[in-house]
Structure 1
């Protein structure tokens, strides 16, 4: 059985959702970043941490990729062109969506108050909106990002779009709004988000 360390209000939601999609048993330890019980597994104090076979794995994308590869689901096989496209989408979402949202969070409540730059959030919102237009051109016509098969970047994107709504970063592309609605009604997402 896996153990997931981190609250569902963090990137740990990605891991919880993945395990629900895979129908794998796990224990959830809902600890906040830097909370007691995190640093022995991740000296940076960041969550999520997945304990697999007694070994801690950090970084949500590394965890999702590991789980997908281990269980042969929600991914394309390594060494295929579809996997290259999948990895390209994953990197785009991390660079253009996740990074903007994390930088905005850092300048909202993570950094010491004297280090925060409130004005940076306007630039980040602009970049976030521009990135949506680019992604809308890369998306499959319907279903998931790559077509009729859900993959790792779908979990990351849906999490980022949900985070964007909380952070008041507008979703300006209707295709992304529709996509997010479809993803958030999935039973596995509902179970993970309820934790």
Structure 2
């Protein structure tokens, strides 16, 4: 059985969503981020990314970590891509061309979208009215996202999905990154195809199952 180390309120959500899509049973070890704890090194601290037992598994001290038999794998997209390849279609690549395109869009999510989308998410969470520096950070990040979101919006308008005309791990990976900017209504409103696509991804039963588990976790 697969083991996913990491709470659902983390990038482990990507792997959990995929496992639900593929009907893969898994065990989840709820390793929490050390920064969420007042004293992660306290003797009574819950299992976290500073815990000695976890660091033996992941010297980088980062979640998620996937164990698949003898394979111990970190980096959330490496984990989702591995599982999609291993278990195949419809979410995985059907051939080498699809594999290359899935890699392309997954890397695009990480290199061109994730940092600015996270900036929007973190600053939107600072309440209202937000301090001027938060508003500036949101505005600048949204401006930088115009080009990559335009690329996605155009591609989705023409093809419906990222690869192969069907929902694949490329859609899942991108949706989990675009989600960080979803709360910026003005930005998302400029890209109707992207907005509709994201809502469709999040309406899938597997996403809903993961999201409910995430909501049920302590904040």
- Bin of the TM-score, shorter chain as denominator length: 0.7 to 0.9
The range that moved more, 4-13 or 96-105, is 96-105
Structure 1's 103 and 38: CA in aligned 2 closer, same or farther, altered over 3 A? farther
Equivalent residues of 1:2, 1:51 under 8 A apart: yes
Aligned residue number for residue 190 of structure 1: 208
1:144 to 161, 170, 174: 161
Give deviations 1:147-185, integer Å, cap 9, x for gaps.
532222211111112222357883231111101111111
Aligned residue number for residue 37 of structure 2: none
The answer to whether 1:44 aligns with 2:23 is no
Length, aligned pairs only: 187
The range that moved more, 61-70 or 48-57, is 48-57
Root-mean-square deviation (CA), in Å?
A: 2.7
- 1:54 CA displacement: 3.9
Q: Pairwise mapping of residues 1-195 of structure 1 onto structure 2 (< 5 A)?
A: 1-34=1-34, 35=48, 36=51, 38-73=54-89, 74-77=91-94, 80-102=96-118, 119-139=136-156, 141=158, 143-165=160-182, 170-171=187-188, 172-195=190-213
Q: Which runs of 5+ in 1 are unaligned?
A: 110-116
Equivalent residues of 1:128, 1:169 under 8 A apart: no
Q: From the CA coordinates, give the structure whose radius of gyration is larger.
A: 2
Equivalent residues of 1:5, 1:50 under 8 A apart: yes
- TM-score for both structures, normalised by structure 2: 0.74
Secondary structure of the corresponding residue to residue 170 of structure 1 = helix
Structure 1's 166 and 105: CA in aligned 2 closer, same or farther, altered over 3 A? closer
Q: Which runs of 5+ in 2 are unaligned?
A: 35-47, 126-132, 214-219
